[in-house]
Structure 1
Amino acid sequence: MNRLRFLVAALIAAVASMAGGGVARADSPAPGDSCTALHATTHDANGRTMWCNPTMTGDHSLVWQYGGPSTP
């Protein structure tokens, strides 16, 4: 029975390490850093509000920007 418990614990540890564990960034984002939720807001290291908007050039990926949500 102890061997079965060990195998289950080892399997859980292996799967958790592959999943990445959901580690978050400890530092504030800077303008141009990527983001994932359109029109989300956050604050930079100086407390200024930034919005998650698509870039105006290139692949139009989402990045943190000053100036509020863009309208398509």
Structure 2
Amino acid sequence: MELTVLCASFVIFLLLGVPVAFAIGLSCLATFAIEGLPFETAIQMMVSGMNVFSFLAIPFFIFS
């Protein structure tokens, strides 16, 4: 069910002319809303995905 909602909402957003990056984000939020998952979980997943050493090394290299 989750995959169906995710793919269908992504295609609908693309057909409406929404840019791809926003269509991906909005379809993820739509899936979270329909499945009843808390939005805090989505935020935690985004933050934990960016907590990688290679992503953190780029700004530190620029600031040095």
* TM-score, scaled relative to structure 2: 0.24
Q: Which has the larger radius of gyration?
A: 1
* TM-score, scaled relative to structure 1: 0.22
- Whose helix fraction is larger, Structure 1's or Structure 2's? 2
